[in-house]
Amino acid sequence: MNLMHAMNRQFMVPTLLIITLSIVSCDLLNSSKSDVTDHKMYVFSNTAQKFYLIDYRNFEIVKEIPLQMPYEVSEEISRLAFMTLSTGGDHLFFEVTGTWPEPSLGFARYDIGKEEFTGLFYTEFIRSGPTRFIAAQDGSAPGLIFAHLRDYGTYAIDLFEEQVKETISEEHHFRLQKWISHSPDDRWTVVHNIWSGTGGYDEIQFYRKDSGFRDLIFTLSEGGSDSIAIYDFEFSKDGERLFLTYQLSDGRSRNIESYFGSYDLETGKLAESDLRFPWSLNPYYTAYSPKRNEVYTIGAYQEFHILNVETHEREKVIVLSGKTQGSSRIQLTPDENIAFISCALDNSIFVIDLNMREVVHTIDVLERPYIMIIP
């Protein structure tokens, strides 16, 4: 097909100074061990000063874990930002910002089994802009992450070995974000390029997963050819389609409406739908249930949408009464029967039973919950 093409990228190994700080005690963690639960869900607070362990079966807060840095600084100039799961599902990785006036970029790791932080190290990079990272999903290197640093480029960094392993790409720009993810069938490492500002556009690059970013196979909306600005996307259970929420990149939909559609990954064609959502500056984040073959999405508002991906129709709207306008995330349980919706501005998480199609509980007394991970 005309979208398919190969592209080899040579890796440059940087000679970067890594300042390592080994943590052999619980200096980062000032809390007791949790009661044992087999239903762990970790929730990261947007204050970037704590996270929570929640029992996703009983909807109970098991433990609050403060993020305490091993030096005396104010939270405004040293904090943890973002949380992701390691390849083996046994660690949580966090981005760390060092002290001013030149805050170093670092990473911390939390051992889920030991329930404690076990490592923190800093690179020679200055944390001067957003960092997007994800586990590399490489079984031979369980601590490896892929990280895009806005002012430097994209790197492979091993958080267990505590070193930058490779320079993947030196492409960077103040207007460019790169969100990296993997397809559920392990075929692709996917890079969502977001160019903001005047003339901005989105495109999605597909690299063969075992190529380590060396083999770019095809690009959806290459150079912004489909004129869409993508909020979020999900792969179909057969891996042949990509479901997405979006607005128009030329600004025509701004303050009017947002959209749902799907890409055919064989042809690269975008199938639009008649579905419309109220326009939202905050993303319409998504989740997908292969068992139900449904996509779930929520924007800044109170409406949680259940979408039929075969008919591209809205099956139901569940109203989250009392939700304050603002960004929310969705996390499904492993059995795909429960959806959690984080509402940072309300200090709560709504719990939706997807069989009953209704809100069944609200987890309160959380401080600005946002990112949720079930190992």
What are the residue ranges spanned by the domains of the chain?
Answer: 1-30+68-225
Q: Is it true that the peptide bond before 101 is cis, omega within 30 degrees of 0?
A: yes
Q: Tell me the pLDDT band of 94, cut-offs 50, 70 and 90.
A: very high
Residues 6+ apart with CB under 8 A from 343: 320, 323, 324, 326, 328, 349, 350, 369
CA nearest 107: which of 153, 64, 164? 164
Residue 207 has pLDDT above 50, yes or no: yes
Share of the chain above pLDDT 70, in %: 87
pLDDT single digits (tens) 120-145: 889 999 998 889 999 999 999 999 99
Residue 316 has pLDDT above 50, yes or no: yes
Q: Tell me the pLDDT band of 26, cut-offs 50, 70 and 90.
A: very low
39 in Cβ contact with 56 (< 8 Å): yes
Question: Which two three-digit tokens encode residue 214?
Answer: 């060396």
Mean pLDDT lowest for which of 21-25, 138-142, 252-256, 290-294?
Answer: 21-25
Residue 16 has pLDDT above 60, yes or no: no
Residues 6+ apart with CB under 8 A from 174: 129, 150, 151
Q: What is the DSSP letter of 12?
A: B
Q: Tell me the pLDDT band of 328, cut-offs 50, 70 and 90.
A: very high
Backbone angles phi, psi at 129, to 5 degrees: -170, 180
CA nearest 168: which of 10, 307, 286? 10
Residue 104 has pLDDT above 60, yes or no: yes
| 212-235 mean pLDDT | 96
Higher pLDDT, 251 or 185: 185
pLDDT single digits (tens) 30-80: 444 555 689 999 999 887 678 999 999 999 999 998 876 444 333 333 577
> Could you tell me the maximum CA-CA distance found in the chain, to the nearest angstrom?
58
| 283-288 mean pLDDT | 98
- Give CA 362 to chain center in angstroms: 23
Q: What is the pLDDT, as a whole number, of residue 35?
A: 56
DSSP 146-166: EEEETTTEEEEEETTTTEEEE
pTM higher than 0.85: yes
Residues 6+ apart with CB under 8 A from 162: 18, 20, 119, 121
Question: Which two three-digit tokens encode residue 308?
Answer: 């039929």
Q: Tell me the pLDDT band of 365, cut-offs 50, 70 and 90.
A: confident
What is the overall mean pLDDT for the chain? 88
Residues 6+ apart with CB under 8 A from 99: 71, 73, 77, 78
Q: What's the half-sphere exposure (Cβ side, CA atoms, 13 Å) at 216?
A: 15
Backbone angles phi, psi at 345, to 5 degrees: -70, -15
| 110-126 mean pLDDT | 91
Q: Tell me the pLDDT band of 337, cut-offs 50, 70 and 90.
A: very high
Q: What is the pLDDT, as a whole number, of residue 262?
A: 98
Dihedral of alpha carbons 307, 313, 316, 317, sign: positive
Q: Tell me the pLDDT band of 261, cut-offs 50, 70 and 90.
A: very high
Residue 106 has pLDDT above 80, yes or no: yes
CA nearest 322: which of 352, 301, 341? 301
Taking CA atoms, 362 is separated from 25, 30, 60, 344, 368, in Å, by: 35, 27, 10, 13, 14
